[in-house]
Amino acid sequence: MNELPFTYQAFLSGAEISLERICADLVDQHRDKIQIKKEKLAARNMFRIVSAVISLSQKKGFQGMSLRDLSEETGMSMGALYNYFGSKEELFEMIYSQGRVFVFEVLRSHASDDNPDVRLREAICAHLYLSEALSRVFSFFFMEARNLSLPNQKNVINLEQMTESFFEDILQEGKQKGSFSIESPEMIAAAIKALLQNWYLKKYRFSRRKLTVENYARFVIGFVSSNLR
C-alpha cells in the first residue's frame, strides 16, 4: 500500500477549501464592479449566484442558462442580480479567473517539497483532494472553458494548461536530478492530468463503488509510479 503525503482530513483542516471562500475572495477582488456596499451581504449573495450558475450549467450549459433561470434558482430578482455583475459574460469571467487563482494557490502551497518524488505525490494528492471538495466547480471549469472570451484568454491562462505545466515541471526536475527515469515528461504529465480529471468528471461512478478519494490517490500514485523507473 502506497503512503500518502497527507490525508484528506488534514488537507481540509489546513485551509478553508470551499466555494464560499472563493466567492468571498471574488467579491473582494471585484469591489469596483459589485455595487453592493456591505461585504458580508455581497459575499453571501455572490455564493448563492455562483452556486446556482454551476448547478444550472451542469444541466444545460452556461450558454443554455438564462438569467431568468438564475433569478429563479437564487430567489433574487433580475435587477438585484445586475448589482453583482455587469453582464452574463463578465459573470463567467469573474468566476473563472477567481477559481483559477484559488486552485493555483492551493496547489502551490501543498506541493512544495524539495524532493521531486515527494512533491509529485503531494501534487497528485492536493489536486485530487481539491477536486473532491470542489468537484462541481472543477467540472464547471472543464466543461465551460470555451466560454472564455478571446481577449481575456491572453490574460487568463487556461486552468488546464496551468495544471499540466505544474506537473510537467515536477517531472522535468525529477528527470534532471535522476529521480525519474522517463523519456517524455510532458506525456507523463498529460497522462496524470487525464487520471486526475477522471476523478471529478466521473465522480458519480466512483462514489457508487464506495471508492474514497484517498484510495483513488493511492491508485493514481501507484499507476504513475510504475512508469517512472
Partner DNA sequence: GTCTATATAACGATAGAC
Partner DNA sequence: GTCTATCGTTATATAGAC
The footprint of a second copy (CB under 8 A) covers 58-64, 143, 146-147, 184, 186-187, 190-191, 193-195, 197-198, 202, 205-206, 209, 219, 222-223, 226-227
| CA 87/CA 83 separation, integer angstroms | 10
Instruction: For residue 40, give Cα distances in angstroms to 33, 80, 112.
Output: 16, 16, 33
Closer to a second copy by Cβ: residue 45 or 163: 163
Closer to DNA by Cβ: residue 25 or 69: 69
**149 is an interface residue for DNA by CB under 7 A:** no
| CA 128/CA 219 separation, integer angstroms | 12
* 8 A C-beta contact, residue 220 and residue 195: yes
Residue 76 touches which member of a second copy, DNA, none, C-beta under 5-8 Å by kind: DNA
| CA 36/CA 119 separation, integer angstroms | 42
**55 is an interface residue for DNA by CB under 7 A:** no
* 8 A C-beta contact, residue 195 and residue 125: no
Closest separation between CB of residue 23 and DNA, Å? 14
Cα end-to-end distance, the chain, whole Å: 18
**58 is an interface residue for DNA by CB under 7 A:** no
Closer to DNA by Cβ: residue 76 or 171: 76
**78 is an interface residue for DNA by CB under 7 A:** yes
Q: What is the contact surface with DNA in residues (CB under 7 A)?
A: 35-38, 41-42, 45, 65-69, 75-80, 82-83, 86-89
